[in-house]
Amino acid sequence: MRNTAFVAVLTLVAGCSSPPDATSPKDVAAPPDVAPAPADGFVDTFAVDPSDWSSTGSNPYFILEPGWVFVFEGEEDGESVRLAITVLTETKVVDGVETRVVEERESEGGELAEVSRNYFAFSKKDGGVYYFGEDVDEYEDGEVVKHGGSWLSGVNGARFGLMMPAAPTVGMRWYQELAPGVAMDRCEVVSLDESVDVEGTPMKCLRTKESSAVEKGTEFKSYAPGIGLVRDGALKLVRHEKMTR
């Protein structure tokens, strides 16, 4: 499944407003409280006190403030793809934690291919954003045909993973999804200064490599300081904005 992350805006590209109470890297006192990494080198246990969870919050590479919309476009397997990601006003309790709902709508060749509702929570202590699962609808000819990759923390042995720490460093490795046999995505930071053209402006970006313990293949993603995810495989950010009513 395609996983995405958003940034708390520190200094946004012209034309975009800033989210409230953004947390800068220097404001984060401590990294995530984690256990030693397992044999594959990817940390898979995260100790967060129940009182530290929040469904709203921001770190330099992820935003859980309702109203933000990110649109990506590109070509995959010879077909045009459009991905729209929206941080919703909705929340959902997962594994006893109130999480923020982030919706992804992906179209292929102009036809709706998938809609997923992703559940994230913010740690007020370490500034990390954690992933509690997703509900997935896959479409064919306008009809839902399956729910591949759906999982929820606390169900069938699944546990929450770390989506994005507040201050990633090169070499950090962690699990984003921990649903045995269903979704075991993991992430490694490979660079902090990748040059990426972001909506016409060259920027130094965080680059990650994602893989899975249950599927073959790897995928690279890029995150620009002050914007967030700007490249997801072959897809590039074409628009981001804070929607107001």
Give per-residue pLDDT as tens, 162-191: 999 999 999 999 999 999 999 999 999 999
Q: Is residue 141 part of a domain?
A: yes
Q: How far apart are the first and last CA of the chain?
A: 31
Report pLDDT for 200.
87
Give the CA distances from residue 226 to residues 61, 107, 163, in Å, rounded to whole numbers and listed in that order. Answer: 8, 27, 17
Q: What are phi and psi of 27, to 5 degrees?
A: -80, -15
Residue 70: closest CA among 9, 133, 153: 9
Please indicate, yes or no, if residue 44 is contained in any of the structural domains: yes
Q: Summarize pLDDT for 110-119 with one digit per residue, the tens.
A: 999 999 999 9
Residue 20 lies in a domain: no
* Host H or E run for residue 242: strand 235-242
Q: CA–CA separation, 114 vs 116, rounded Å?
A: 7
CATH number of the domain residue 139 falls in:
2.40.360
Radius of gyration of the chain (CA): 17
Mean pLDDT of 119-145: 96
Q: What does each C-alpha distance from 155 to 149, 191, 211, 239 come to in angstroms?
A: 13, 34, 23, 36
Give pTM, 2 decimals. Answer: 0.83
Q: Which has more pLDDT, 243 or 226? A: 243
Any domain includes 120: yes
Per DSSP, 55 falls in state S
Does residue 224 surpass a pLDDT of 50? yes
Residue 169 in any domain: the answer is yes
pLDDT higher than threshold 50 for residue 29: no
Whether 16 is covered by a domain: the verdict is: no
Domain tally for the chain?
1
pLDDT > 50? residue 135: yes
**Phi and psi of 23, rounded to 5°?**
-105, 125
- Residues paired with residue 223 on neighbouring β-strands, in sequence order: 206, 229
Q: Does residue 71 lie in a domain region? A: yes
pLDDT tens digits for 59-94?
888 888 999 999 999 999 899 999 999 999 999 999
Contacts of 42-45 with CB under 8 Å at 24 or more apart are 42/173, 42/174, 42/175, 42/186, 42/187, 42/188, 43/162, 43/173, 43/174, 43/175, 44/159, 44/161, 44/174, 44/175, 44/178
Domain membership flag for residue 87: yes
Q: What's the pLDDT at 59?
A: 85
From the list 233, 243, 239, the residue with the least C-alpha distance to 4 is 233
Domain range for 137 is: 25-242
